[in-house]
Chains A and B, each alone.
Chain A
Amino acid sequence: MGVTTVEVSVFRGDRTGGEMVTYPVPVREGMVVLDAVLWIQANMAPDLAVRWNCKAAKCGSCSAEIDGFPRLMCKSPVDEYGAALSVRPMRTFPVIRDLVTDVSWNYEVNRRIPPFTPSEADALDPEPWRMRQEDVDRVIEFRKCIECFLCQDVCHVLRDHDREDAFAGPRSMIRFAGLEMHPKDTLDRRPLLRGQAGVGMCNVTKCCTEVCPEHIHITDNAIIPLKERVADLYFDPLRWAARKLRGR
């Protein structure tokens, strides 16, 4: 060990600007970055704004950029960083104050995704539903999402190109995949995926997969299959011809 104090630099400011302020924090065994930030709050900067809830990597509230890398603060041991580390708010979202960002856009996008829709027969079936574990297993991965929005933060379509108007982001793709592949869902969301949600905007750099604390294979298991579904519908020549003939 050897390190008894870690120098933690934290962004202090709001959307008009701010600065990095460094605080010396005494290190405790097993300390995570969130502990360090809360220690600063309780002892040195009582108004330091930070969003957190469970401190157990289950709620996805404490997302931040630690030494420039998007992570959950509660899941990032301080001893991985040596004698100094920096904590900044997620860059893709507007800063409210210090480490707290305005993530409301993600909720607006989610609201535009049509909800789970079973078939009429299933909806009216008085008997309990039966599903195979194998079919359930396909969507379990997507249902693990804790909405930390780190994938949205790191997605360069949103982060560098500010194309919130054209792409709903990796988190939304996970939501789409969880619905589209749900064994009992029957709604076809491909027109929305191709249009407003913009699945085509993703060019598969897999940055989102890399930062996912739940280890969801966002690109391989959600986005690429969704792209394929959209391609099947719109770019398959036979279907294209059929659509023309039916006049749709």
Chain B
Amino acid sequence: MAGSAYDTVETDVLVIGAGGAGMRAAIAAAGSGARVLVLCKSLLGKAHTVMAEGGMAAALANVAHLDSWEAHFADTMKGGKLLNSWRMALIHAREAPERVLELERWGAVFDRTSSGLIHQRPFGAHTYPRLAHIGDRTGLELIRSLQDRLVHTGGVEVLMETTVASLLTREDRAVGALAYRRADGGLLVCSARAVLLATGGAGRIYRITSNSWECTGDGPALAYEIGAELQDCEMVQFHPTGMVWPPGVRGILVTEGVRGEGGVLRNKDGERFMERYDHERMELSSRDIVARAINAEVTAGRGTPHGGAYLDITHRSADYIRGKLPSMYEQFLKLAHVDITREPMEVAPTIHYFMGGVRVDAETGATSVPGLFAAGEVASGLHGANRLGGNSLSDLLVFGKRAGEAAAAFSSDHPEPAAADRVQVDLAIDLLQDPLTRPHGESPYRLQGELQDTCTRYAPIIRDEQGLREGLEKVLDLRERAERCGTGGPTGRAFNPGWHTAHDLRSMLVNAEALFRCALARKESRGAHARSDYPRQDPRLGQVNMVVRRSEGGMAVRAVESEPVPYDLTEIISQSFQKYTPEELS
């Protein structure tokens, strides 16, 4: 099929993905004078960021006056079990307040304190109330504010429902991408001076997930294919509270805001079990600990009828709950026939976030491939072994801006036209169109389902060597079958989800393989990665990243020492932060 027709487009900075990070990066790149092209898989404003509920973490100190970037930095590092890139954690803690205030100046609306400042709610493992929020739909507010800013920013073009199939290179530098339009299946070759990945996570490789359909890990896969390094792919966050019943809604997110607003967890005996797992922080412990606690209660036979825990906020007034948690109220009433102002919710862990991803430079989001940048969930480093709630929305803004500016700078430093050669383009087109030539090939939906079952079963909350090995074998077997899979039937090009799924599968398999390989390599328990055969933290692995790279013999993982945390910052991390000022205590 070589020689297929395609449209061409040329730009300075190509942004792939239009969630919070992609849009913030596009605005920043355009602000630096670059022409920007944004490609997104869905309609604008529908990206997974829209589902973020609780808020964005920033040490504004509007509610707790003692809050500071130091405290936010320390919480982030401790929450990440010190696996974090300290440089990213430092930048994030220092710049998040500015980014939140900037968003407000672009029209975002937040709940207010009595003195009229942005209100902040408490969240798991944050020492102080720190999350700027609007009810329980902060992600929507963020995405809509950025969307409106973006469409009124000059020099930015957005192509919606356009999926990137491959990145293109020239002399080991990223110079563009091959994409297809979902609507008509038409092909598009984009030439760019810099490429920025903002594709989010890979939650769909699991069966039970809070993630939307498009979270298929495209970014790590695209980057890996052209030789970029990934890291820490074993670090997959189970959000402690997803819906469990009825089966049709299993996995849908129940915001941590419920616990932030005072919700308590109980087992079937009515015991407030977090007492036994984290006496001090209770329900507002870090997500890895709460998820494992619920898992342990269920395993010990103390789970609810549908295999979860009860989450109870009924001690708050009905008006308060409907005001602060409106979409949770609606979600349970409509989908589970549960009135959360009167009855407890049933919740269980659900796959939520990938701390691992593309390995980047802390300051710029530059990857190990020149001209390729990454920001947001697709990038790895800020969150270490466990992400704190609220840190992802601020991550998107802080590092979206930085990566956008860096990509624009790279573009202006490389003004010569960059284009991939025709042979490379044709190979990428053949790979993309392959499933269309196999109407009788295996169904991509079936393969996707088997992959989801494999990850769910063999890379669960508590892992072990044998399970991980079996999982990896199954993934490798699936990869082989996927190379021969079809569209499941009809081979039309116009909006054919069978074809789209066959393509997504390629990305998902790279992410799954990296997950199993990294999980096998990390022989300890740390943060989100818990192993029954290595139940303890190994201090020697505290500053080691599992780095994934494509090699001659396939996917290779090696342990790479990270840069040690400087002495002064180590002191900040071990410092104990006073919760209240003397005036607040009296």
Real binding pair: yes
B43 with A103: CB separation less than 8 A: yes
Q: Which residues of A contact B474 (CB under 8 A)?
A: none
Q: Which residues of B contact A179 (CB under 8 A)?
A: 107
Give Cα distance in the complex from A29 to B496, angstroms: 29
| Cβ of A59 under 8 Å from chain B | yes
Among listed A3-11, A94-102, A196-204, A235-243, interface-contacting one:
A94-102
B334 with A75: CB separation less than 8 A: yes
| Cβ of B497 under 8 Å from chain A | yes
Q: Which residues of A contact B148 (CB under 8 A)?
A: 110, 115-116
If A53-B212, A136-B111 touch, whether A59 touches B50 (CB-CB below 8 Å) is yes
A55 with B144: CB separation less than 8 A: no
Q: Which of A49, A56, A104 has the most CB of B within 10 A?
A: A56
Give Cα distance in the complex from A46 to B445, angstroms: 8
B42 with A61: CB separation less than 8 A: yes
Give Cα distance in the complex from A106 to B139, angstroms: 21
Q: Which residues of A contact B499 (CB under 8 A)?
A: 47
Q: Mark A36-58, 1 if CB is under 8 A from B, else 0.
A: 00000111011111111111111
| Cβ of A121 under 8 Å from chain B | no
Least CB distance from B250 to A in Å reads 8
Q: Which residues of B contact A46 (CB under 8 A)?
A: 443-445, 487-490, 497-498, 501
Q: Which of B104, B140, B487, B499 has the most CB of A within 10 A?
A: B140
B494 with A14: CB separation less than 8 A: yes
| Cβ of B118 under 8 Å from chain A | yes
Least CB distance from B184 to A in Å reads 8
- Pick from B107, B327, B487: contact of A47, CB under 8 Å: B487
| Cβ of B292 under 8 Å from chain A | no
| Cβ of A30 under 8 Å from chain B | yes
For A35, give the chain B residue with the smallest CB separation: B248
If A129-B104, A140-B135 touch, whether A110 touches B140 (CB-CB below 8 Å) is no
| Cβ of A222 under 8 Å from chain B | no
- Pick from B47, B117, B246, B490: contact of A30, CB under 8 Å: B246
A54 with B212: CB separation less than 8 A: yes
Give Cα distance in the complex from A179 to B336, angstroms: 35
Q: Which residues of A contact B116 (CB under 8 A)?
A: 129-132
Q: Which of B48, B109, B134, B137 has the most CB of A within 10 A?
A: B109
A32 with B105: CB separation less than 8 A: no
Give Cα distance in the complex from A130 to B104, angstroms: 11
Q: Mark B403-445, 1 if CB is under 8 A from A, else 0.
A: 0000000000000000000000000000000000000000111
For chain A, what secondary structure do more than half of its interface residues adopt (helix, strand, loop), or is it mixed?
A: loop
| Cβ of A163 under 8 Å from chain B | no
Among listed A18-26, A143-151, A153-161, A224-232, interface-contacting one:
A143-151
Least CB distance from A227 to B in Å reads 23
A61 with B46: CB separation less than 8 A: yes
Q: Which residues of A contact B249 (CB under 8 A)?
A: 30, 32
A147 with B487: CB separation less than 8 A: no
Question: Which residues 232-287 of B sit at the A interface, judged by CB distance below 8 A?
Answer: 245-249, 252-253
A123 with B105: CB separation less than 8 A: yes
| Cβ of A164 under 8 Å from chain B | no
| Cβ of B9 under 8 Å from chain A | no
Q: Which residues of B contact A147 (CB under 8 A)?
A: 45-46
Q: Which residues of B contact A55 (CB under 8 A)?
A: 212-213, 252
- Pick from A28, A123, A132: contact of B248, CB under 8 Å: A28
Q: How many residues of B contact A (CB 8 A)?
A: 72
A128 with B118: CB separation less than 8 A: yes
| Cβ of B51 under 8 Å from chain A | yes
Q: Mark A113-126, 1 if CB is under 8 A from B, else 0.
A: 00110100001000
For B50, give the chain A residue with the smallest CB separation: A59
| Cβ of B106 under 8 Å from chain A | yes
B43 with A56: CB separation less than 8 A: no
For A98, give the chain B residue with the smallest CB separation: B495
Q: How many residues of A contact B (CB 8 A)?
A: 60
Q: Mark B116-155, 1 if CB is under 8 A from A, else 0.
A: 1111000000000000001101011100100011011000
A32 with B45: CB separation less than 8 A: no
Q: Mark A162-185, 1 if CB is under 8 A from B, else 0.
A: 000000000000000001001001
For chain B, what secondary structure do more than half of its interface residues adopt (helix, strand, loop), or is it mixed?
A: loop
| Cβ of B481 under 8 Å from chain A | no
If A54-B51, A128-B117, A185-B107 touch, whether A143 touches B252 (CB-CB below 8 Å) is no
Give Cα distance in the complex from A220 to B528, angstroms: 48
For A59, give the chain B residue with the smallest CB separation: B46
Give Cα distance in the complex from A48 to B331, angstroms: 27
| Cβ of A84 under 8 Å from chain B | no
A182 with B109: CB separation less than 8 A: yes
Give Cα distance in the complex from A54 to B135, angstroms: 19
Give Cα distance in the complex from A58 to B443, angstroms: 30
Q: Which residues of A contact B443 (CB under 8 A)?
A: 42, 46
| Cβ of B183 under 8 Å from chain A | yes
Q: Which residues of B contact A103 (CB under 8 A)?
A: 43
Q: Which residues of B contact A47 (CB under 8 A)?
A: 487-490, 492, 496-499
Q: Which residues of A contact B248 (CB under 8 A)?
A: 28-32, 35
- Pick from B60, B253, B495: contact of A97, CB under 8 Å: B495
Q: Which residues of A contact B42 (CB under 8 A)?
A: 51, 53, 59, 61
If A35-B248, A58-B140 touch, whether A140 touches B445 (CB-CB below 8 Å) is no
Give Cα distance in the complex from A229 to B490, angstroms: 54
Q: Which of A50, A98, A136 has the most CB of B within 10 A?
A: A136
Q: Which residues of A contact B50 (CB under 8 A)?
A: 53-54, 58-59, 146
Q: Which residues of A contact B246 (CB under 8 A)?
A: 28-31
B445 with A107: CB separation less than 8 A: no
Q: Which residues of A contact B245 (CB under 8 A)?
A: 30
Q: Which residues of A contact B140 (CB under 8 A)?
A: 58, 143-144, 146
| Cβ of B214 under 8 Å from chain A | yes
- Pick from A32, A41, A75, A143: contact of B144, CB under 8 Å: A143
Besides A97-B183, A130-B117, 17 new A-B residue pairs in contact (Cβ under 8 A), listed by A number: A14-B494, A29-B248, A35-B248, A46-B489, A47-B497, A48-B497, A49-B497, A53-B212, A58-B137, A59-B45, A97-B494, A107-B151, A131-B112, A136-B110, A136-B111, A146-B140, A182-B109
26 pairs, A vs B, C-beta closer than 8 Å? A30-B247, A31-B247, A31-B248, A32-B335, A46-B444, A46-B445, A46-B497, A46-B501, A47-B496, A47-B497, A48-B497, A49-B497, A51-B43, A52-B213, A53-B213, A54-B46, A58-B51, A98-B495, A107-B44, A110-B151, A111-B151, A115-B107, A130-B117, A143-B134, A144-B137, A182-B109
10 shortest interchain CB distances as A-B pairs: A30-B246, A46-B488, A116-B107, A130-B116, A30-B248, A46-B498, A49-B495, A42-B445, A97-B495, A53-B212
Could you tell me which B residues sit within 8 Å of A by CB distance? 42-48, 50-51, 60, 62, 101, 104-107, 109-112, 115-119, 134-135, 137, 139-141, 144, 148-149, 151-152, 160, 183, 210, 212-214, 245-249, 252-253, 327, 330-331, 334-336, 443-446, 449, 487-490, 492, 494-499, 501
Could you tell me which A residues sit within 8 Å of B by CB distance? 14, 28-32, 35, 41-43, 45-61, 75, 77, 96-98, 100, 102-104, 107, 110-111, 115-116, 118, 123, 128-133, 136, 139-140, 143-147, 179, 182, 185
